[in-house]
Amino acid sequence: MPYHYGTDKKAVSSHNKKKPKSTAMKAKSKDKVKDYNRKGLTKAQIKSMDKHSMHHTKTHMNMMAKMMREGMTQKKAHDAVVKLEKEKKKKKKK
């Protein structure tokens, strides 16, 4: 098995190296972009929100977009929506 020296000068096996992700996986993930109201957002915000939308519901994305149009940053809008969702879930349990 071939060995080479890593950055810390220890022998490292080339067998354990991580393989790069294939481009086919990236194409599939774009299919999961939610359709939310993009009106009034900048191109940079839309690009960032499209990535974010793969992990959240359409309702979550619409609420975030609304808050961002009102001047909130994406991080603050996300935190606020998550907090609202948690409160709503708590009320539903009672």
Report the number of distinct structural domains present in the chain. 1
In a domain, 65, yes or no: yes
10 is a domain residue: no
Per-residue model confidence (pLDDT) at position 27: 43
Task: Examine residue 37 and state whether it is found in any structural domain, yes or no.
Answer: yes
Specify the pTM: 0.62
Is 12 within the bounds of a domain? no
The whole-number average pLDDT for the span 82-90 is 92
Residue whose structure tokens are 């907090």? 83
Place of tokens 């774009």: 30
For the segment 15-71, what is each residue's pLDDT rounded down to a tens digit? 556 666 655 444 444 457 888 889 999 999 999 999 999 989 999 999 999 999 999
Query: What is the predicted pLDDT for the residue at 21?
Result: 60
What is the signed CA dihedral for 38, 32, 63, 44, rounded to 10 degrees? -40
Domain of residue 50: give its range.
Answer: 33-94
- Indicate whether 86 pLDDT > 50: yes
Q: pLDDT grade, residue 84 (50/70/90)?
A: very high
